[in-house]
């Protein structure tokens, strides 16, 4: 298993060094360098500036009846570095599996954030959503994860507008940040189809409004292609992007097999190289199988 993530304290951070600290977290805290896990690490290193900097992951994928150890061994054979999960109950079994294979649960998806929303008009519901988020942070830490993926709310009408989502979610997330900082788990806001911040500049400003190093962006490559070229989102969000969801999307075929949509993967890689990005890239969706996905991620994300 990889070395323990670096823990960053926020006590001495100021606005002037905030961006530097955030970059350090993205480079060290969130990438625990699980190089021994992926099958591809046994080959001669290809000529790719992103090789060794991007770690391949899946959203779940565990078969019914499969033990955590069997699951991680199967992923290792297919060239993956880890997985992002929901809320697995058997933390001890997963910790044992990661220790034996070198794989990781790199983070959790915050459960129920669409239905029990931080932006809900009802204060009691917002409080429950906050509790759910705090519990997810604790579970992620217990599993060795470095993040919780969060949908901050949804624009639904006059009682849950764009401004409501903005201010209500920030108010609730900030209450969880002391726990997140203590446990070394970043809260990463996903770019999704929730009626909120469909402009990259707006989403950038939303992340900046937290003014806190333990909040970042979980950028979904396919989701936002609908609103602006995905490589432009990556350029504008810059260092704020800590982890990536890997999807493709096209005007004619919607969400689809990687490489068959409208995402310009060459330009995506170019922007990631410019940012000196290093971190997790997690496939959400299906291709022709997990082996096909692994090969496509090598080709499209790494350029090999």
Domain at 99, CATH number? 3.20.20.150
CB neighbours (10 Å) of residue 119? 29
For residues 266-295, average pLDDT: 97
Q: Does residue 235 have a pLDDT over 80?
A: yes
Assigned domain for 1 exists: no
Assigned domain for 10 exists: no
Assigned domain for 32 exists: yes
pLDDT at 233: 98
pLDDT at 261: 98
What's the pLDDT band for 86 if we cut at 50, 70, 90?
confident
pLDDT at 85: 84
What is d(CA 155, CA 149) in angstroms, rounded to the nearest whole number? 19
pLDDT at 32: 44
Assigned domain for 24 exists: yes
Give the DSSP letter of residue 300. I
Number of domains in the chain: 1
CB neighbours (10 Å) of residue 225? 24
Q: pLDDT of 44-62, one tens digit each?
A: 567 899 999 999 999 988 8
Assigned domain for 2 exists: no
The model carries a pTM of 0.86
Assigned domain for 257 exists: yes
Q: Does residue 17 have a pLDDT over 80?
A: no
Question: Of 45, 46, 41, 71, which Cα lies nearest the Cα of 56?
Answer: 41
Assigned domain for 224 exists: yes
Containing structural domain, residue 251: 15-302
For residues 252-259, average pLDDT: 98
What's the pLDDT band for 43 if we cut at 50, 70, 90?
low
Q: Which residues 6+ apart lie within 8 Å of 44 measured at CB?
A: none
**Could you tell me whether strands 186-190 and 248-250 are parallel, antiparallel, or unpaired per DSSP bridges?**
unpaired
Q: pLDDT of 194-234, one tens digit each?
A: 999 999 999 999 999 999 999 999 999 999 999 999 999 99
Q: Which of the residue ranges 12-16, 26-30, 38-42, 275-279 has the most confident prediction, judged by mean pLDDT?
A: 275-279
């Amino acid at each position: 298993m990889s070395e323990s993530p670096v823990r960053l304290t926020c006590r001495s951070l100021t606005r002037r060094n905030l961006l530097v600290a955030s970059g350090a977290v993205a480079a060290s805290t969130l990438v625990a360098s699980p190089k021994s896990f992926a099958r591809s690490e046994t080959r001669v290193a290809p000529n790719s500036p992103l090789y060794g900097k991007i770690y391949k992951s899946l959203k779940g994928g565990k078969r019914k009846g499969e033990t955590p150890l069997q699951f991680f061994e199967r992923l290792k054979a297919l060239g993956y570095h880890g997985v992002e999960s929901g809320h697995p109950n058997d933390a001890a079994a997963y910790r044992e599996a990661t220790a034996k294979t070198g794989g990781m649960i790199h983070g959790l998806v915050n459960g129920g954030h669409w239905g029990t929303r931080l932006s809900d008009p009802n204060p009691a519901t917002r409080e429950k959503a906050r509790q759910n988020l705090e519990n997810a942070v604790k579970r992620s830490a217990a599993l060795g994860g470095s993040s919780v993926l969060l949908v901050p709310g949804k624009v639904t009408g006059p009682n849950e507008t764009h401004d409501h989502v903005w201010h209500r979610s920030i108010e609730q997330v900030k209450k969880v940040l002391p726990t997140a900082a203590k446990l070394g788990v970043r809260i990463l806001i996903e770019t999704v189809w929730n009626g909120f911040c469909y402009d990259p500049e707006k989403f950038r400003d939303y992340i900046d409004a937290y003014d806190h190093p333990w909040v970042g962006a979980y950028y979904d490559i396919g989701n936002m292609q609908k609103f602006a070229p995905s490589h432009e989102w990556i350029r504008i969000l810059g260092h704020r992007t800590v982890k990536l969801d890997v999807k493709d999307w096209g005007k004619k075929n919607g969400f689809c097999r990687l490489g068959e949509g409208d995402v310009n993967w060459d330009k995506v890689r170019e922007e990631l190289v410019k940012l000196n990005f290093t971190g997790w890239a997690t496939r959400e969706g299906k291709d022709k199988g997990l082996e096909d996905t692994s090969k496509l991620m090598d080709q499209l994300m790494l350029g090999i």
